[in-house]
Amino acid sequence: MRSLIVAFLLFSFQLSAQNPLFIPDTLVGPSINLSLQEGTMNFYPGQVTQTMGVNGNLLGPTLILNKTETVTMNVTNNLMDSSTIHWHGMHVSPLNDGSPHVVIPPGSTWSPLIPVLDWASTYWYHPHLHSHTHEQVQKGIAGMIIVRDNDEAALALPRTYGVDDIPLVIQTKAFNATNQIITIESALDTSLMINGTIDPFVSVPQQVVRFRILNGSSERVYNIGLSNNQTFYQIASDGGLLTAPVTMTRLRLAPGERAEILINFSGLIGQSVQLVSYGSELPSAIYGATQPGMGAGQAIPNYTLNPLNGANFQLIDFNIIAATANAITTIPATLITHSPWLAANSNITRALTFSPQNMGPTAINGPFMINMTMFDMMMINQYVPYNNTEIWTLTNNTPISHPFHIHDVQFYILDINGIAPPLNQQGRKDVILVPAGGGIVRFIAKFEDFYDDTVPYMYHCHMLTHEDGGMMGQFIVQAPPLGLNEEDFMNSGNLFPNPVIDQLTINKLKSNQIIRLYDVSGKEVYSNIIEHTEATLNLSSLVSGVYFVVFETDSNTEIRKIIKN
């Protein structure tokens, strides 16, 4: 099999890399057009590979968003199949989340209006069609999202995209003998690519360079380090910057996780350094380790034939060139402030237990259940009261580690097997690898800003084969009891009553403030400049439902949700 041979070449990372790293284009708001489409790539000599991409043949543009802006995403599905697009890690309403319930049929456009509420960090987008996520992501649909905010902008960090701020989407795929991407269960992910480039190199200036690393693989966990064993510094986890850079020589990244790291290449001009995955050092019971289960009794078919498993292999070759003007040359001492929710203030502890559907030696091959249940589109597994602060306890009674992911929120890890998480996992997270064999992770999160009594959010294993196989559940964030909601008061204006029947009063406004009202589909239904500090809007002609009131001031945008009865 051709892919096996190519993978063997990658295995020896002394070889110099062949192909310049592809850097996806960028798109910025307030209106972003994304076309899901079929395409082709020449990954290997011989037959071309059928692929899927966004605005191109493979992967998609990097979206650059600013916190507090409001962005309309026009996602047109030009595929032959239905799809969805999920904004992984972003805090959006259930209807805007692109879950398996928000299907985009072929030939149609979905246009959610997204208020960007997220902290500066690296997020991503990918399809989430039930039981087809692995297939559509493997064929090529995925892209990176960079959110910027004022706190991040105030720091001396590299941020010139593609120059000293470089996206690295790490993926492995399985190919058949005719160079086609295959997603059947026995297919092994022998082909490694970064941003869709096989065996890549990139020139980097001899200064501090930031890499935004996304593990966009369906199953594989990476254990990332540098070939010269130089230290590097993690500055961000999934959902935001860390308190301070964390000095490290290895970064373990599970499917769905992101990390931003700084590498200082000063003084290395003319040299080349490789980014390597040290798979040989991964402990057992992780996909990518020598032993993917707890012991030799738990085997994945053909796993040992995959040269990447249990091996150290090159991810990308860095060729160090001259510094840029205004180079960043030092690592900041501190980054941002976090105030995690306190366990003592939680409203409830919710328990989720993972178990294999089949006990015995084939348990590792799934399917896997959460609380003894397989995913069912029609079944809501959890009801979360709006504004709850909750502790979720994840117990993994299976022989393999699972990267658990939850939509809607970023969480803080309280402990992993009873021990505080390592420093680089003490920031905001939306994916956490739950250790096998009875491993327990506890996290805390607050379910604020969005609720919907009919459209759920998802939680699932981010090994996409497991997710598609049913290792997923869904939760509804319940509407608060009717009446004024304290949480809906804001600095720049109070809205009442909420829910509203006809007259909505807004006070404490700055003068000459622009107010816009959008429905849940993102359609603007009202806009006006309010001269005075108080205004009454007559909403009697609007249909019942959820609306967003958006206030634009000189320096920012605020978004409030109201309910029209």
Chain residues binding ligand C2O by CB under 6 A are: 86, 88, 126, 128, 256, 405, 407, 458, 460, 462
Give min distance, CB of 86 to ligand C2O, in A.
Answer: 5
Three-state secondary structure call for residue 10: helix
Cβ-based nearer residue to ligand C2O, 216 or 240: 216
How is 339-388 classified by DSSP, letter by letter?
-PPPGGG-SEEEEEEEEESS-STTGGG--EEETTB---TT---EEEETT-
Indicate the residue among 264 and 410 with the shorter CB distance to Cu ion.
Answer: 410
545-552: strand order across its sheet: 524-530, 513-519, 545-552, 557-564
* Closest CB 84 distance from Cu ion, rounded Å: 11
Least Cβ distance, residue 91 to Cu ion (angstroms) = 11
Structure-token pair, residue 558? 């605020």
Closest approach, Cβ 380 to Cu ion, in A, equals: 18
Examine residue 85 and tell whether it contacts Cu ion (CB under 5 A): no
460 binds, among Cu ion, ligand C2O, none (CB under 5 to 8 A by kind): ligand C2O
Please report how close the Cβ of residue 488 comes to ligand C2O at its closest, in angstroms.
28
Distance (Å, rounded) from C-alpha 41 to C-alpha 58? 8
CA distances from 344 to 110, 415, 425 (A): 41, 14, 20
Q: Which lies closer to ligand C2O via its Cβ, residue 428 or residue 460?
A: 460
- Exactly one of 130, 173, 258, 402 binds Cu ion (CB under 5 A); which one? 402
Q: Is 428 in the site for Cu ion (CB under 5 A)?
A: no
Instruction: Yes or no: say if 244 and 334 are a contact pair by the CB < 8 Å rule.
Output: yes
Q: Is 212 a binder of Cu ion (CB under 5 A)?
A: no
How far is the C-alpha of 281 from the C-alpha of 337, rounded, in Å?
A: 33
Q: Least Å distance between CB 255 and Cu ion?
A: 9
User: Which of Cu ion, ligand C2O, none does residue 461 bind to, with CB < 5 to 8 Å depending on kind?
Assistant: Cu ion
535 φ/ψ sector (left φ>0, alpha ψ -120 to 50, else beta): beta
Instruction: Report the residue number, 292 or 522, with the smaller CB distance to Cu ion.
Output: 292
- Which of 120, 142, 262, 461 binds Cu ion (CB under 5 A)? It is 461
Strand blocks (E) in 90-138? 109-110, 113-115, 121-126
Closest residue to ligand C2O, Cβ-based?
Answer: 88
Instruction: Give the residue, chosen from 174, 431, 463, 477, that forms a contact with Cu ion under the rule CB under 5 A.
Output: 463
Nearest to 143 by CA among 258, 254, 41, 235: 258
Q: What is the smallest separation between the CB atom of 135 and Cu ion, expressed in angstroms?
A: 17
Q: Note whether 210 binds Cu ion by CB under 5 A.
A: no
- Is residue 300 near Cu ion by the rule CB under 5 A? no
C-alpha–C-alpha distance, residues 518 and 539, integer Å: 12
154: which residues sit within 8 A by CB, 6+ positions away? none
Our CB check for Cu ion shows the closer of 237 and 264 to be 237
Question: For Cu ion, which is the closer residue by CB, 285 or 515?
Answer: 285
Q: Shortest CA distance to 90 belongs to which of 516, 457, 503?
A: 457
Whole-number minimum distance, CB 189 to ligand C2O, in Å?
17
Q: Is 428 left (phi over 0), alpha (psi -120 to 50) or beta?
A: beta
Residue 126: which of ligand C2O, Cu ion, none does it interact with, CB under 5 to 8 A by kind? ligand C2O
* Rounded least distance, CB 502 to ligand C2O, Å: 39
Instruction: Please name which of 538, 535, 539 lies closest in space to residue 508, comparing C-alpha atoms.
Output: 535
**According to CB under 5 A, which one of 67, 466, 560, 564 is a site residue for Cu ion?**
466
| Least distance in angstroms from the C-beta of 147 to ligand C2O | 16
Residue whose tokens read 């609007």: 542
Interacting span for Cu ion (CB under 5 A) from 205-213, 295-303, 401-409, 510-518: 401-409
| Residue 402 contact partner, candidates ligand C2O, Cu ion, none, CB within 5 to 8 A by sort of partner | Cu ion
* CA dist., res. 12 & res. 258, Å (int): 26
| Helix, strand, coil distribution of the chain in percent, nearest 5 | 10, 45, 50
Rounded to an integer, what distance in angstroms lies between the CA atom of residue 354 and that of residue 392?
13
- Burial grade of 423 (CB within 10 A; 0-12, 13-18, 19 or more): middle
Which H helix or E strand runs over 153? helix 150-153
Q: Is 220 in the site for Cu ion (CB under 5 A)?
A: no
The entry of Cu ion, ligand C2O, none that residue 140 binds, CB within 5 to 8 Å by partner kind: none
463 binds, among Cu ion, ligand C2O, none (CB under 5 to 8 A by kind): Cu ion
169 binds Cu ion (CB under 5 A): no
Q: How far is the CB of 62 from Cu ion (least distance, A)?
A: 17
Among residues 101 and 466, whose Cβ is nearest to Cu ion? 466
451: left (phi over 0), alpha (psi -120 to 50) or beta: beta
Shorter beta-carbon distance to ligand C2O: residue 98 or 427: 98
- Cα–Cα distance measured from residue 317 to residue 330, given in angstroms and rounded to the nearest whole number: 23
Looking at the Cβ atoms of 88 and 134, the one nearer to Cu ion is 88
67 binds, among Cu ion, ligand C2O, none (CB under 5 to 8 A by kind): none
Determine if 88 is a binding residue for Cu ion (CB under 5 A): yes
Q: Tell me the β-bridge partners of 31.
A: 72
* Closer by beta carbon to ligand C2O, 126 or else 564: 126
Minimum distance from residue 486 beta carbon to ligand C2O (Å): 31
Q: Among residues 190, 147, 142, 187, which one has the least CA distance to residue 169? A: 142
| Between 252 and 460, CB nearer to ligand C2O | 460
477 near 463, Cβ under 8 Å?
no
Can you give the binding site for Cu ion, defined by CB under 5 A?
88, 402, 407, 461, 463, 466
